[in-house]
Structure 1
Amino acid sequence: MHERSSVGELAQQLRQELKRYSPGGKLPSSRALVERYRVSPVTVSRALAQLAAEGLVVTRPGAGAFRAAPHAHAAPAGDTSWQTVALSADAGGEPVPRTVDASGVTVSLAAPPPGVIEFNGGYLHPSLQPERAMAAALSRAGRRPGAWARPPLEGLPELREWFARYIGGPGGTVTAAEVLIAAGGQSALTTALRALAPPGAPVLVESPTYPGMLAIARASGLRPVPVPVDADGVRPELLADAFRASGARVFVCQPLFQNPTGAVLAPPRRAEVLRIAREAGAFVVEDDFVRRLAHEDAGPLPPPLAADDPDGVVVHVGSLTKATSPSFRVCALAARGPALRRLRAIQVVDSFFVPRPLQEAALELVGSPAWPRHLRNLAAELKSRRDAMTGALRHVLPELALPHIPSGGYHLWLRLPDGAHESDLAAAALRAGVALTPGRPYFSAEPPAAHVRLSFAAVAGTAEITEGVRRLRAACDDVLGPGRENGSTPPPDLATLLP
């Protein structure tokens, strides 16, 4: 029996068998199921994971699988249909409807079903997070004098000073007075767009770009206008055209290891982008989200755009979250002039301030010897994982084009063969036991081709990466046809691809 079809068949057989069990009744062991149904242990594991996702069984490590208790009868649902009218009552007078679509964000936040390999994650796997260092930092922070007192609205002065040095570099081009502390990059980007663009205004975005940015813009009543990106970052001539055609006064970009392409804005283009924005009387919102996720072979990194901008064109967003944990939401928002005052006012109105214990913990973490050690280890591990994924893709899925191998960040951007449908591939991949991110949400207009994004940071290690690529090969066979017919060679033994 083919492995992929046998998972579904075994799950169906177990559904029937469950009817003979009382709630809490224990199912036969995995070994017994392997022998009874003549399937592999992997098939049993996936079938049980599927039933657990359906709420039919509960698995307990070391104890086995049990029939789940029936759901209690829910109270009668109220009638919320009136909200449809209330939420759209004023939409007719808005230049741009303020729709809130979080689907592009939740795909990287939601945990996949048990047994599914997470190629769609946007954060570090727990094994890569500095959990011990963060715990120690939190413990020390709690003992600081005044740790639970109200912090300055702009943030702790010492933390602002640390971020200012990091952003401005040795030249000290950014001062602590120009830095605000925010609760994570998403919050800071939301504040920046609200401060710099009125509802109904156009905002220039890279194409493709981070879906969370598009969600922020649309939820704020803004109109995203795409500007194409290539291997060297945003194309300056098209950026100038977009400013002229749209009248936009804001451009949002990720100059370093762009999401999803991994591109780094080339040195000649850095100056061009700032010049074009300055001539347009516009702001550049710099989302410097993965500067601390450079790979071991990255070489010297270019400074943030904010370090080269004396005129307040750049509003800089730089977060600690990607290099630590999704719950370590501490971020810098740097700007100059009236824009800084408006950013501060909006942030205070929205959230008052970032909790002081978290700011104190951030100070303890970045000031400890464990911090540079963590970044060095992370750089080596990310390179190892990137190489494992690119090597497996090259051998097993050569029909998926990888035009650029990044030297930083946590993801790869793959183009599918002409005529392929990324939504079909994503669905087939999930059935095969691997979650990936379709490319469509990364485009604010029609995409030029079908793409998928694969993350190599949210998985347990290189062995899981090669297994995930093997499962993705099976999904591609379902959607694109067998590998031989797509010009690829038969998959090798994936164990030979491990570093």
Structure 2
Amino acid sequence: MGQDSTARMTAELRAWIAAAPPGAQLPSNRALVARYGASPVTVQKAMRHLIGAGLVESRPGVGTFVRAVRTARPAEYGWQTAALGAPPARVSMLSSTQRSVAPDAIGLHSGYPASDLLPERAVRAAIARVARTNAAVVRSPVAGMPELQEWFAHELAMVAPAGVTPPTARDVLIISGSQSGLSSIFRAVVGPGQPLLIESPTYWGAMLAAEQAGVTLVPVPSGAFGPDPDEVDRALERSGARAFYAQPTFANPTGGRWPSSTSDAVLEICRRRGAFLIEDDWAHDLAIDADPRPIAAHDDDGHVIYVRSLTKSVSPALRVAAVIARGPARERILTDRAAESMYVSGLLQSAALDVVTQPAWRSHLRALRPQLRSRRDLLLDGLREHAPTAHVDTVPAGGLNLWARLPDGVDAAEVVRQSEARGLTIAAGDEWFPAEPSGPYVRLNYSSEAPARFPEAARILGEVLAEAAD
């Protein structure tokens, strides 16, 4: 079916919508394919027309529904341009990882694991238990629940080598997700107008937080084995920066992991230059083939500011994380957090603590490894068979993502658009670079829903890349 068929289908669906009550559910894309004898691409085009016209709304994982309010013309928000002025940051927009997808689409763009990889039963039981305690009605201390502070401190102390004084509970600040912690660290420790070294590529949310804090980003190239320590040293000297944000363990998006030699060298450089290493250990609980080894465990003089989140390993509904910092830096970050959000919900802290202190937590983490490995390898095998020009140079030893290099000259954003038109949602790599991208990349989440569709996803990507090469 061509453009005329798309228009005819759209017109017939408009007529159906006009007679349907608000909230009525449209047939699924597969049902429409069968009804009209159309291709999935034709159906998706028709649905985009209807969504763009404000007639229907898509609810990911549920379906497409007739909107309760249907407007004759699009809303006009032009006045806000003058009211808001220039955007405060270059990346002040939603990431492609946060967009919703059609119910029948294959989503490999998200930054979160599928729900079946989470300790769902333990989370539900914990929430039910803590709802019956005082945590449901009592304000939490500004720095966090002492018991949860102690747990985070103990986790780091367990891997500290002999001779290094481990952190105490007082060094721990409980925060509502690592994103809020990064924002506070950049404001309180770096400061507006000051330079911050940052790996390239790196986590897009860190760039957003830094730029909205008015921090000047100084990119340092980084790959499968992290940055060149000599380049870090030179960049600190050239820029005058006194902080370096990095992900030494299972980096997002590359999956890279620093060897011990790089970790030791970078920590020594920070000590010599009187600088902070802001260590984002976002994937601590998502190991596959190697155990995490936080650099913070080797630091007892306050050079490492350590961030660890439970959001991706416990539940995205329990946005609980920790910053571990020592000395005046800790006090500055605490002051910023108190001004920003006062305190973190005691209910969420109690539920998170309940989950991670149950014996089932360690069992869950042990079972998670083979599940992540299986999904990673399934997607890798699919790419090798169906999309061989999408090269994955680094097989990640943990984390959630594959970082695939596309052929030179390919427009990654166009590959994303064409893949989405065929029912596959992926993320272009551009938004992970604090400077110009070093090449065309896409990030693929192997921990997403429906791993049985990974071969189909690889076929779609392979078809799109083959067409782009013609």
User: TM-score scaled by structure 2?
Assistant: 0.89
1:478 is aligned to 2:458:
no
Please report how far the alpha carbon of residue 211 of structure 1 lies from its aligned counterpart in structure 2 after TM superposition.
Answer: 1.0
TM alignment of 1:415-434, pairs within 5 A? 415-434=405-424
Show the counterpart of 2:237.
Answer: 244
Aligned mates of 1:185, 1:32 — CA distance in 2: 42
1:186 is aligned to 2:175:
no
Conservation of the 8 A alpha-carbon contact between 1:53 and 1:113? no
Deviates more, 1:375-384 or 1:15-24: 15-24
Please report how far the alpha carbon of residue 137 of structure 1 lies from its aligned counterpart in structure 2 after TM superposition.
Answer: 0.5
Aligned mates of 1:282, 1:64 — CA distance in 2: 51
CA 1:274/1:60 → structure 2, altered by over 3 Å: closer, same or farther? closer
Please report how far the alpha carbon of residue 474 of structure 1 lies from its aligned counterpart in structure 2 after TM superposition.
Answer: 2.2
Show the counterpart of 1:352.
Answer: 342
SS at match of 1:206: strand
Deviates more, 1:6-15 or 1:278-287: 6-15
SS at match of 1:291: coil
In structure 2, what residue type is equivalent to 1:378?
Answer: L
Identify the match of residue 284 of structure 1 among 273, 277, 283: 277
Identify the match of residue 17 of structure 1 among 12, 23, 38: 12
Identify the match of residue 361 of structure 1 among 318, 343, 351: 351
Deviates more, 1:402-411 or 1:372-381: 372-381
Aligned mates of 1:7, 1:366 — CA distance in 2: 54
Show the counterpart of 2:101.
Answer: 112
Aligned mates of 1:362, 1:204 — CA distance in 2: 32
Conservation of the 8 A alpha-carbon contact between 1:33 and 1:44? no
Show the counterpart of 1:71.
Answer: 70
Please report how far the alpha carbon of residue 469 of structure 1 lies from its aligned counterpart in structure 2 after TM superposition.
Answer: 1.2
1:177 is aligned to 2:166:
no
Q: Deviations over 1:111-158 (max 9, x none)?
A: 212322111100112222222211110111112245421111111111
Please report how far the alpha carbon of residue 343 of structure 1 lies from its aligned counterpart in structure 2 after TM superposition.
Answer: 1.0
1:324 is aligned to 2:314:
yes
TM alignment of 1:116-265, pairs within 5 A? 116-169=105-158, 171=160, 173-265=166-258
Aligned mates of 2:252, 2:278 — CA distance in 1: 15
Conservation of the 8 A alpha-carbon contact between 1:207 and 1:444? yes
Aligned length: 460
Conservation of the 8 A alpha-carbon contact between 1:11 and 1:51? no
Show the counterpart of 2:82.
Answer: 84
Aligned mates of 1:347, 1:200 — CA distance in 2: 20
1:447 is aligned to 2:440:
no
Aligned mates of 1:325, 1:146 — CA distance in 2: 19
Please report how far the alpha carbon of residue 37 of structure 1 lies from its aligned counterpart in structure 2 after TM superposition.
Answer: 3.8
Please report how far the alpha carbon of residue 480 of structure 1 lies from its aligned counterpart in structure 2 after TM superposition.
Answer: 2.2
Conservation of the 8 A alpha-carbon contact between 2:152 and 2:169? yes
Conservation of the 8 A alpha-carbon contact between 1:45 and 1:115? no
SS at match of 2:391: coil
Q: Deviations over 1:23-50 (max 9, x none)?
A: 208988989865664446x568756754
Aligned mates of 2:209, 2:411 — CA distance in 1: 27
Percent of residue pairs identical = 37
In structure 2, what residue type is equivalent to 1:414?
Answer: A
CA 1:381/1:71 → structure 2, altered by over 3 Å: closer, same or farther? same
Please report how far the alpha carbon of residue 174 of structure 1 lies from its aligned counterpart in structure 2 after TM superposition.
Answer: 1.5
Deviates more, 1:274-283 or 1:467-476: 467-476
CA 1:44/1:336 → structure 2, altered by over 3 Å: closer, same or farther? same
Please report how far the alpha carbon of residue 65 of structure 1 lies from its aligned counterpart in structure 2 after TM superposition.
Answer: 8.0
1:467 is aligned to 2:463:
no
CA 1:308/1:68 → structure 2, altered by over 3 Å: closer, same or farther? closer
Please report how far the alpha carbon of residue 84 of structure 1 lies from its aligned counterpart in structure 2 after TM superposition.
Answer: 2.8
Structure 2's unaligned 5+ residue stretches are none
Conservation of the 8 A alpha-carbon contact between 2:112 and 2:447? yes
Structure 1's unaligned 5+ residue stretches are 1-5, 89-96, 482-499
Aligned mates of 2:351, 2:368 — CA distance in 1: 20
Show the counterpart of 1:340.
Answer: 330
Aligned mates of 1:110, 1:86 — CA distance in 2: 23
Please report how far the alpha carbon of residue 433 of structure 1 lies from its aligned counterpart in structure 2 after TM superposition.
Answer: 1.1
Deviates more, 1:370-379 or 1:322-331: 370-379
Conservation of the 8 A alpha-carbon contact between 1:124 and 1:325? no
User: TM-score scaled by structure 1?
Assistant: 0.84
Conservation of the 8 A alpha-carbon contact between 1:24 and 1:66? no
1:402 is aligned to 2:392:
yes
CA 1:100/1:467 → structure 2, altered by over 3 Å: closer, same or farther? same
Q: Deviations over 1:243-280 (max 9, x none)?
A: 01100011000000011111111111111000111111
CA 1:258/1:65 → structure 2, altered by over 3 Å: closer, same or farther? closer
SS at match of 1:294: coil
Show the counterpart of 2:268.
Answer: 275
CA 1:28/1:280 → structure 2, altered by over 3 Å: closer, same or farther? closer
Conservation of the 8 A alpha-carbon contact between 1:147 and 1:360? no
Please report how far the alpha carbon of residue 52 of structure 1 lies from its aligned counterpart in structure 2 after TM superposition.
Answer: 5.9
Deviates more, 1:140-149 or 1:276-285: 140-149
Conservation of the 8 A alpha-carbon contact between 2:245 and 2:277? yes
Please report how far the alpha carbon of residue 400 of structure 1 lies from its aligned counterpart in structure 2 after TM superposition.
Answer: 1.4
Q: Deviations over 1:77-130 (max 9, x none)?
A: 68735x636746xxxxxxxx9426333x53212221232211110011222222
Conservation of the 8 A alpha-carbon contact between 1:401 and 1:416? yes
Conservation of the 8 A alpha-carbon contact between 1:199 and 1:222? yes
Deviates more, 1:395-404 or 1:127-136: 127-136
Aligned mates of 2:386, 2:134 — CA distance in 1: 57
